[in-house]
A and B are shown apart, each in its own frame.
Chain A
Amino acid sequence: MTDTAHLDVTDTGWLTTFQDLGRTDTERRGVPSGGAADQHSAAVANILVGNRRGAPLIESMGGELAIVPDVDVLVAVTGTPSRVTVGGAHVDSWTPVVVPAGHELRISEGGLGARSYLAINGLLAVERFLGSAAPDARMGFGQVIARGSEIRVDTGFHGFDRTFFDQSLFRFPVPRLAFDEKPWTIDVLPSDQLVGIPGMRELVAESIYTVTDRSNHVGLRLNGPVLHPDDRTEIVSHGVPIGALEVPHADELIVLGRYRSLTAGYPIIGFATRTSLAMLGQAGPGRELRFRWVDRDRAVHAARAVEGELQKLESVVSDAFVALGVPTTFSRGLDCARII
C-alpha cells in the first residue's frame, strides 16, 4: 500500500534541486541529457532505497540540506563525504537509513567533493520536462528546492517487518567513490587530434590541473599547462561527448559537463572515460586533477566492472528488502536506466 509522505525542507545547500540520470534521446533535438553530475552516486543512492536507478532524487551542492518527514521514511545519502545526522545522532552515508516521523535528517557536506545525493524510497512528486526531472536552467526548468518548501513522496515503506531495532543494520557491498585530499586521477582516452599537438600527450600526463571557480554545469575550466596546435583552421561547430577535453584559445583546459552544447570549434585532445565522469562531477573549485591516458579496452573493462557492481548491489538489496517487507521498484535487463 502506498501513502504520500510529506517532507518539510528545513535547510538547503547552496543549490538544491530535484534530479535524475537525465533525459534520453533528446540531444538530437538540442536539449542536453543533463542529469546528476555524479551519476554513480545518484544511481547507488536510489538502489540503496530500493528505487530504480533513474528515479527522481535530490542533488545538493554545499551547505546543509535538512528535511523533516511526517511519517517514517527510508533514505540513503551518497556523494561527497558528509556528516549525516538523524535527530542529531550520527548515521552512516552509502547505506539505507530510517528517518522517523518528526525527526530531522541533516547533511553537512565536508567539502571534498561538490555534491551529495539524497534518495527516498518511493516516487518523488516532481515536474518533468521531456520525461526527466533533471533541471535545465537555460530553458527555464530550474527544479530548485527552496527552504520552507514541502516535498511529497509516494512510498510503500511502513517500517521493517522485523522490528527488533528501528534502524536495521545493513552491510551491502556498496561501490563507493574514493574521495581523497590528494589530486584525483581521471582516466582519459586520446583523440585523433592529439597527435596534431606535439608534446601535449606528455605534458598532460605529467601535469596537475586545478579546477577554477569559472567552472559550471557546462564544463570544468582548469588551470594548468597547455599547448596549442600550430594551424588554427576554423573548425565547424560539432557535437561533443560529456567528458571531452577541449583546448580553448586561452591557456586553460576545459572538461565538458552534462549541459554542454555544440563546441565552438576548439581542438579536442581526449575524452574522460565513462567511469571517470563521476569524479569529474564531484570536482569543485580548487580540486587538483591528474590525467592518465588509457586505451579503450581498459575504459570499457572498467565500465563493465562498475555495472557488475551495481547489478550485484541491486540483487543483494532486493533480497534483503523482500525479507524485510520493503517495496522495491528495480527494473531488470536492458530496460534499466544505465548510467550514461
Chain B
Amino acid sequence: MEALFYIFSIIAIFSALMVISVKNPLTSALYIILCFFALAGFYILLNMQFLAAMQILVYAGAIAVIIVLAIMLLNLAKTKGAIKDFHQLVIGIIAVGLLFLEVILYIDAAGEKKPTGIYTNAIINKVGNTQIIGEFLFTKYVFPFEVASILLLVAVIGAYIFAKK
C-alpha cells in the first residue's frame, strides 16, 4: 500500500508540474488525464471505488474530451509566449511557496482527532459504497442534488448562448 501511495503521488505531482510547464495546450491536456488517473488511484487506496470510477468517467472522459475539442476548434498553434513576464513569474512562485508553507504548517499543527462518523471501512465494504452514496444523495442531500441538476441545465444554456454567433 505504501509503495502504491508513493507511485501515485510521484505520477500525480510530476504530471501536474508538466501541465503548467509544457508549451502546447494539447500536451497539457494529455498530462492532466494522467494526473486524473493517478488521483483515481488515490481514491481506490482510500476505499472509495465509486469515486474512482466517477473520476475516470467524468474527468478523464468528459472534461478532458471537452478540452481537447476546444483545442481542436480554436487552432491554438499561433499562441506564443506561454508564460507572462518575469515579475509575474517571480511573484507567483513566491506567493505559491508561501501558501504551501502556510498550509503545511497548518496540517502539522492539527493534532490527532477521533473519528466521529460510523462509516468505517468494514461497513462501507459490507454495504457497498455506491449504495451508501446513493442513499445519501436521495435522502439527506436531495436538495443539493436537485440544485446541481439545475446548475447543469444553466451551464448547457449558457454555453450555447456564449458560443452562438
- On whether the two chains bind one another, the answer is no
Residues of A within 8 A of B (CB): none
